[in-house]
Structure 1
Amino acid sequence: MSSPTKTILPFTVPRNLPDLVKAAFSRARASGDVNFYPTEAVILHVNALPFQLRFSPSLANKPAPPPPSNTTTPKKPFNPFASPSPSLLITPGPSPPPLDGPTHPTSTHYLLLNKFAIVPHHFILATSAFQPQTHLLEAADLTAAYACIMAYHDYHHAGELFAFFNSGEHSGASQAHRHLQFLEVEGMKAGIPGTGGWEVWADGMVRGDGVVGKLPFRVFAGRVREGMSGEEMRGVYLGLYRQACEALGVEAGEEGEGEARLSYNMAMTRGGMVVMPRVAEGAEVRDREGAVVGRLALNGTVLAGTGLVKSREEWEALRGDPGQVGEVLRRIGVLNTSVDSVQSRAEL
């Protein structure tokens, strides 16, 4: 006798999401289920844009995955989103798998805390059933993400969220199961005296207030608004994705399904979304003597104007020579030739 089919419901973001995230984070941190890594922060300038660099010495001691087994049988990679720890859940996750079958999703998505947090209340929107991180986002992914952003804005004006998505080998992606990540903007400003003039770069990209022209890399921005349908929002996303493909000389085609044809980051704020094509995850960092002391790797938080280093040597080298940050940013995406032309004229 076959088991009854479970209905998969659309994901609904709770109106009191900020309270739920805060309470879950407090519980999980107290129990040790979330690892919170304090950071130092400094503002460096890239083409006059304030860039936030953070240093987390504790992150270097983040638990490493177990070493590969010597057995010849290939082992399936661990998927933290398939059966999430109950202590990390913000909304109900997938139903536990029965003894004779796979996990049963109860809704299309669920929310959980990021186990390794640099900013308090860092949380994740994951698909309940496995969907590839390298495939194009669907309307349900985008509407759920935007609903989280609006929940923060609407709930007693709790603040703004910065959402980001990493896809492809050069994007900073670390998990194969589709998920988007969220950071509270106020939390991102912590530790910076007076914020140093820093604000989320993606906001300026969407507003078109001159940020794009100063970036070392090319980005493509579009506006979104409350009340947009999922398909309308996805239309904006696919338009930006196709522009990113064109910038790399990649044929995007007209199809809007399946695997993306490039590595990219996507960021979303209340005003819109940004897509950045990627060609590298990062680049080397050198000390004053020219010796390599590390590598600055960047994920989708680069679209907020932030980066993270894990060693004191990298931290001191970049603070002592901020131009290296700009050089790394030039190498990770498609070169913004408008910035190059401005710099060339200035050097004449």
Structure 2
Amino acid sequence: MGNLIWHDLARFVSISASIYAVWSAFFGLFFRKFFWDFVGGIVRDPGGIQPAPGAAVFISLIVKAPVIQVFTMIIGAFLVVVEYPLPQFRALAIHRSFIFRIVLLLFQSFLTILYYQIIAKIPSSFDNAVNSGDLLFFPSTIHKHPEGHVEYEIRLCPALQKKPQLPSSDFHAADSTPKVQRLDPFNPPYNPNLFVGYLRNEEQEEEYVVMMNKYSVVRGHFLLVTKEFKSQTLPLVPDDLVQTYALLTAAYKARQNMFAFYNCGDLSGASQPHKHIQFITVDDDDGPPIEALARAVTLEAPDKPFSLTSLPYANHVYRFPQRLSSMPRDKIEHVLAAAFLSLLDLAISTIRHAPDYPAGKPSYNVIITLEHLHVLPRREENFVLQETGDNLNVNALGYAGMLLVKSERELEAVKSEGVGKILRGVGLESVHDLQVAGTSLEPGDVGTHL
């Protein structure tokens, strides 16, 4: 009886390992990386880690053509049908052969350690960076603050008062001065404890670097950075959007609730002039607080932008079609690019309706979840709290419903002032009803028929 139990346990372990191998190989098709490319590699500036010549065969079989990933999927699927087993395999000798299955499992394990998935590496990368002292993690507490139809999260982090004061970024100088780029913390050589990996789109020849955020308030906060310098004042391009959505999908498959945000322009709350998209996890299964309000909207025209009209500031939202992540890559790219361009047009139109908008390039925040895309135009980087006189910096997280304060005094001032008033103060008045007609109807009296 004991042998039977152990035999079944081993079979279940084998099936679980094989299913995970198939899953990992699937995402390895999109995030192609030879795990051991650092062995014998050379760190160059610029260029980062350059694999050793001996790794060329693995680069060809993993990065250039995902042969190993496909082979891993085949072996994993075969092991599942043998172990389960399918009726056709019950009478075969391979189903009864321990040696055959052990050899296949060992071979499967060998193949899966040749590549890795970015999302799977984030937790260990975060812990290693914290332990090495290269990543500064600031503990915090979350205070729920219901206001209007949103339950905001105000994160209190007194330790941020000790955060090193960073020089302010000059986005316009970064656009035109190569010298500024050389001082860029996102340029190689990368800190090995913050570096996670590369992402590359072979078709567009776009390459990205994934790295941990050096100053983190939320565990696992990481960045998707363009490998070549591009300005944070530039809009997101299709490949930025596709890579971002692919990472969110991978996180969802790994049972992590994650969303992405992008601060565009010098009034958006961005801290670095090098183009980067940020990712953080949330404990709530519903995502960031603003998602509950967006999800409650009933759409009359599902393929058109809408606005959360109960909010006191300009906001533009697009709902993605269901099962977008399972669509072909070119379809995903088309949906994401079209959605972003439509919202960006509305944001620029909103800015044009503001006669006293500051001179210069427009600024806005972008929030990306698996269900929605949000674009919010900005006119100020900071809000001056009346009670304390302090400048409260607001970036895309604020519009996601997650504000950050450094003291109890600031916390009480934010509650007293009102989150909606703060976000309106650094944002713009909504003119969405003049821009789009007949796209949404919010529950009850929350919104108006546009």
Assess same fold via TM > 0.5: yes
* Equivalent-residue separation in structure 1 for 2:383 and 2:422 (angstroms): 5
Q: Is the 8 A contact 1:293 1:313 kept in 2?
A: no
Which residue is 1:240 aligned to? 343
Q: Does 1:334 align with 2:437?
A: no
Which residue is 1:140 aligned to? 239
After TM superposition, list the pairs within 5 Å mapping 1:103-182 onto structure 2.
108-155=207-254, 158-182=255-279
More helix by share: 2
Q: Which amino acid aligns with 2:218?
A: V
* Equivalent-residue separation in structure 2 for 1:26 and 1:109 (angstroms): 22
How far apart are 1:209 and its partner, in Å?
Answer: 5.6
Aligned with residue 204 of structure 1, among 275, 293, 299: 293
Q: Which amino acid aligns with 2:383?
A: A
Give percent identity, aligned residues only. Answer: 27
What is the alpha-carbon root mean square deviation over aligned residues? 3.5
How far apart are 1:93 and its partner, in Å?
Answer: 8.5
* Equivalent-residue separation in structure 2 for 1:161 and 1:198 (angstroms): 7
How many residues are aligned here? 295
State the structure with bigger RCO (CA 8 A, min sep 6), 1 or 2: 1
* Equivalent-residue separation in structure 2 for 1:145 and 1:271 (angstroms): 13
Q: Is the 8 A contact 1:169 1:263 kept in 2?
A: yes
- Find runs of 4+ consecutive structure 1 residues off by over 3 angstroms: 14-18, 65-68, 336-339
Q: Which amino acid aligns with 1:308?
A: L
Which residue is 1:192 aligned to? none
Q: Does 1:271 align with 2:368?
A: no
Which residue is 2:180 aligned to? 76
Q: Which amino acid aligns with 1:264?
A: Y
Which residue is 1:300 aligned to? 396
Which residue is 1:38 aligned to? 139
* Cα displacement string for residues 82-131 of structure 1 (whole angstroms, at most 9, x for unaligned residues): 1231110111489xxxxxxxxxxx96112110011111000000011111
How far apart are 1:235 and its partner, in Å?
Answer: 1.4
Aligned to 2:123, the other structure's residue is in SS state helix
Q: Is the 8 A contact 1:216 1:336 kept in 2?
A: yes
Aligned to 2:390, the other structure's residue is in SS state strand
* Equivalent-residue separation in structure 2 for 1:246 and 1:206 (angstroms): 25
Q: Which amino acid aligns with 1:205?
A: A
Aligned to 2:391, the other structure's residue is in SS state strand
How far apart are 1:22 and its partner, in Å?
Answer: 0.3
Aligned to 1:286, the other structure's residue is in SS state coil
Which residue is 1:313 aligned to? 409
Give the TM-score normalised by structure 1.
0.75
Aligned to 1:76, the other structure's residue is in SS state helix
Q: Does 1:64 align with 2:165?
A: yes
* Equivalent-residue separation in structure 1 for 2:385 and 2:168 (angstroms): 27
Q: Which runs of 5+ in 2 are unaligned?
A: 1-46, 51-58, 67-114, 170-177, 300-306, 355-359, 434-441
How far apart are 1:223 and its partner, in Å?
Answer: 2.4
